[in-house]
Chain A
Amino acid sequence: MLSLDGIWVHYGTVAAVKGISIEVGENEIVTLIGANGAGKTTTLRAISGLHRPSSGEIRFQGERIDRLTPEEITARGIAMAPEGRRVFPQMTVMENLEMGAYLRQDGARVKRDFEEIFHHFPILRERRKQMAGTLSGGQQQMLAMGRALMSGPKLLLLDEPSLGLSPIMTQEIAKIVRELHQLGRTIVLVEQNARMALRLAKHAYVMETGNIALHGLAEDLRHDPKIQQTYLGA
């Protein structure tokens, strides 16, 4: 469904992602794990068009998307819940979700999706008239995911959904990710919380300083001592 082939991304003269290749199949969760600063977020930003790769190819459903604008990529069915939530702080929960559905014309199905999102995240229904900026971190994360889902995406990119969340909230988010997957969503999950990500995903890529250090079935990687090494260096 999605393939990255030899992607390089530079910030000025510094290479943040150094020629990585990733495959994501239909209806699967693929996770990108690694320590801070390994290049995971940059990879996601490249997929969503927020950062143009300096070389390499990104294909989505067989078509090249690495030269498209973020607006065009969203229109093709890729939605992202970004790192640090980034909800629209001075808009209500409801308005944030509406913005997620900005490009959609099918009113009836949009309505159904609202219901589906409120089913996954009941708290959002309760808070739907509240300003997004006043929500707690966990609620904002749910809203960011909900907003991404409102575009009816074929592919969902989740960037560090557990960042800064308590263990209980992290578990909550993990459960919802699994639910979404069971309902047939394709998800790319970027996580620092490797243990959680490796239990959710089928395939995993471990990034280190812009490269892919390891990749394979998540199950196999789960007990690989090398993972701890890439995080803690010893």
Chain B
Amino acid sequence: MALLEVRALVKRFGGLVAVNDVDLDVEAGEIRGIIGPNGAGKTTLFNLISGALKPTSGTIRFDGKTVSGRKPSQIARAGLVRTFQRNAMFPTYSVLDNVMLARHTQKKANLFKAILGTDRKDEERNLLRAREIIGFLDLSEFADELARNLSHGHQRILGIANALAVEPKLIMLDEPVAGMNPTETAMVTGHLRRLRDEWNMTVILVEHDMRTVMETCDYISVLNFGEKLMEGDPGQVSRDRRVIEAYLGSEEIDL
């Protein structure tokens, strides 16, 4: 059984069918790419899986439990955490505090304990783990820096750190390398591979930068017009005639 199972997923906006009958199986421990030309339905699919949108029909099962129709916060606590296209971090908090904040879901906060300060033990354990996550993503030297003072690349990596803080089984990344220079991009792809290899993390990657997708993903699903066009490994995908046509347009256009 796959970690994430999407079955016959449909999303309509008024008359527009944004996602049409999509099936998806993501196995534990793989890096899965989801690509497709502009307007293919990637973002909608992403929002459906993360719970930001409710599907018109179809089911999403994660880790054996049905999650479609749940709130994003519930899905996150179930172990499926997303990142954002924008730089998603709490800008006026330090890097360490960002990750600490994201860890708050680990245990229900208790108003009285918080006032009396008796939740210190949990806090210490959280702090240890937060430092570990930051260390894993090479952000240790910025631990006390305010998030807004980081470079663009490091802000995006902090977004990933915030996602990891929730202790997910699967992270879904929305264009993690957008706007990055080649060095930063290499940094991120390196982290993703290490996450898969060392932490056995499952990753879904929605990304425009094809080089990153082709170099990083184990398997790729291609969307077009809201439907799944094909699936395959990077080599198969980049040679596929339908994929090339979806991106570059048809050769047989008649003018």
Contacts and interface: CB of A to CB of B under 8 A. Distances in A.
- Does chain A touch chain B in the assembled complex, meaning CB atoms less than 8 Å apart? yes
Interface of A: 11-16, 35-37, 136-137, 160, 162-164, 166-167, 170-171, 174-175, 178, 191-197, 199-200, 209, 227-228, 231-234
A163 B244 contact: no
Contacts of B152: 13-14
B213 A170 contact: no
B234 A234 contact: yes
Q: What is the interface residue range for chain B against chain A?
A: 20 to 34
B247 A35 contact: yes
B225 A164 contact: yes
Given A171-B253, A194-B249, A232 B238 contact: yes
Contacts, number: 90
Contact of B210 (A35, A171, A178): A35
A180 to B, nearest CB: 13
Contact of B253 (A164, A195, A227): A195
Contacts of B255: 171, 174-175, 178, 199-200
A116 to B, nearest CB: 21
A192 B38 contact: yes
A231 B248 contact: yes
B106 interface: no
A37 B248 contact: no
7 contacts: A193-B249, A197-B249, A199-B253, A232-B244, A233-B210, A233-B213, A233-B214
A209 B214 CA distance: 16
Interface in B151-188: 151-152, 175, 178-179
B111 interface: no
With a 10 A CB-CB cut-off, give which of B37, B238, B254 has the most chain A CB atoms: B37
A186 to B, nearest CB: 19
